[in-house]
C-alpha cells in the first residue's frame, strides 16, 4: 500500500488527543462508563462526532455496549460541502494516532455496484471530521477493524432511502456481522430547553425505525441534526434487515459539560439491536 492511499487525520489534536497514549486513555475512560455487562450485537447505531470533551461520553456509551465486528460501515454527514452528494472511498486506509484502519475494498465495490448513486470521491472525506472521530472508539474495541466510509451531502429522502436499501441487500448477501454506524450530532446552537424538546421529537421516530418520520420531523420542525442523512439510511437498512426497534442509551447536550445553557448542541447515542434468533 502506498502512502498516497493513506488518509491522514484531519482533526487530531483538536477534536481528540494527537498523542496515542493520551487518546487511548481518554477513549478507554469513555468506554468504561457503559453499564452493560454483556456487549449487544447490533445492526446499527447512532453516535455523536463532536470534540471528545463534549460528546465522548455519549459515544463511549454506544461503542462500549456493543459487540464491534471486524467490518463497519461509517456513514457521516458532509460538513465541508466538498465532493459528491454520496461519496464513498473504496481503497486504501485511514490513519489515526492509534494506527491505520484499512478500507474494505470488496465491500465498497459491492455497495457501489448495488447503489449507482454512490461515487468514488476522496475529496468529500479529506477534511471531514464526522467519520474520523468514530474510528478510535472502534479501533480500541476491535483490533482487526476494517471499514467503509460514506459521506452524505444530500438532504433528499429518496437517495438516502435507496442507499439504505442497498446497504441492507449487500449485508444480507454477505451473511457476516457488519455494523452500520451513523455519525450524527443532534440540534445545534439553540437553548438547552429548546434543543431537548426538538431532539426528543426526532428521537421518537428513530426508536421505532421510522426513517421517513425522522426525515419529516427534522425538515418540518427545523431540527438542525447534521447527520439525519446517515441516520435515515441506517434506519432504512436495519429495518430491512429485520430489526424491530432502537434503544436510546444516552442523551446529553454540550451544556452538561460547559455549563452554558444558552447555545448548546445535542448528542444522542442510539443502538439498533439485531433481531433475536429463535433457539432450537
The dihedral sign for the CA sequence 239, 164, 112, 138: negative
Residue 75 has a pLDDT of 98
pTM confidence score:
0.95
Task: Express each pLDDT in 99-150 by its tens digit.
Answer: 999 999 999 999 999 999 999 999 999 999 999 999 999 999 999 999 999 9
Residue 175 has a pLDDT of 85
Distance (Å) of CA 26 to CA 4, 34, 41, 69: 30, 14, 24, 22
CA distance 107 to 237: 15
Residue 3 has a pLDDT of 41
Residue 2 has a pLDDT of 41
Residue 246 has a pLDDT of 98
Residue 33 has a pLDDT of 85
Contact 268, 197 (CB under 8 A): no
Q: Which residue has the cell 431540527?
A: 223
Query: Can you list the residues of the chain whose pLDDT is less than 70?
Result: 1-4, 35-36, 277-280
Residue 36 has a pLDDT of 66
Name the 3-class secondary structure at 144. Answer: coil
Name the 3-class secondary structure at 208. Answer: coil
Residue 276 has a pLDDT of 76
Quote the Cα angle for 245-230-11, to 5°.
125
Task: Express each pLDDT in 150-177 by its tens digit.
Answer: 999 999 999 999 999 999 999 999 989 9
How many alpha carbons fall within 13 Å on the CB side of residue 252?
25
Amino acid at each position: 500500500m502506498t502512502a498516497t492511499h493513506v488518509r491522514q487525520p484531519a482533526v487530531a489534536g483538536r477534536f481528540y488527543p494527537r498523542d496515542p497514549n493520551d487518546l487511548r486513555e481518554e477513549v478507554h475512560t469513555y468506554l468504561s462508563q457503559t453499564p452493560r455487562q454483556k456487549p449487544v450485537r447490533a445492526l446499527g447505531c447512532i453516535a455523536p462526532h463532536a470534540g471528545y470533551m463534549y460528546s465522548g461520553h455519549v459515544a463511549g456509551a454506544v461503542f462500549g455496549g456493543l459487540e464491534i465486528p471486524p467490518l463497519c460501515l461509517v456513514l457521516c454527514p458532509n460538513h465541508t460541502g466538498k465532493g459528491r452528494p454520496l461519496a464513498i472511498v473504496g481503497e486504501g486506509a485511514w490513519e489515526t494516532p492509534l494506527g491505520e484502519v484499512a478500507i474494505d475494498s470488496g465491500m465498497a465495490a459491492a455497495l457501489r455496484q448495488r447503489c449507482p448513486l454512490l461515487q468514488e470521491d476522496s475529496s468529500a472525506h479529506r477534511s471531514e471530521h464526522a467519520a474520523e472521530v468514530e474510528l478510535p472508539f472502534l479501533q480500541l474495541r476491535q483490533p482487526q477493524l476494517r471499514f467503509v466510509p460514506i459521506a452524505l451531502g444530500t438532504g433528499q429522502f429518496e437517495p438516502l432511502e435507496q442507499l439504505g436499501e442497498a446497504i441492507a441487500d449487500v449485508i444480507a448477501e454477505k451473511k457476516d456481522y457488519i455494523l452500520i454506524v451513523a455519525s450524527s450530532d443532534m440540534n445545534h446552537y439553540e437553548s438547552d430547553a429548546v434543543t431537548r424538546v426538538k431532539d426528543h421529537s426526532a428521537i421518537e421516530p428513530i426508536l421505532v425505525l421510522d426513517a421517513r418520520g425522522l426525515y419529516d420531523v427534522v425538515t418540518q420542525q427545523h431540527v438542525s441534526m447534521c447527520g439525519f442523512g446517515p441516520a435515515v439510511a441506517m434506519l432504512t437498512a436495519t429495518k430491512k434487515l429485520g430489526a424491530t426497534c432502537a434503544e436510546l442509551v444516552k442523551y446529553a447536550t454540550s451544556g452538561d459539560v460547559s455549563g452554558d445553557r444558552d447555545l448548546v448542541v445535542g448528542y444522542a447515542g442510539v443502538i439498533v439491536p439485531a433481531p433475536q434468533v429463535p433457539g432450537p
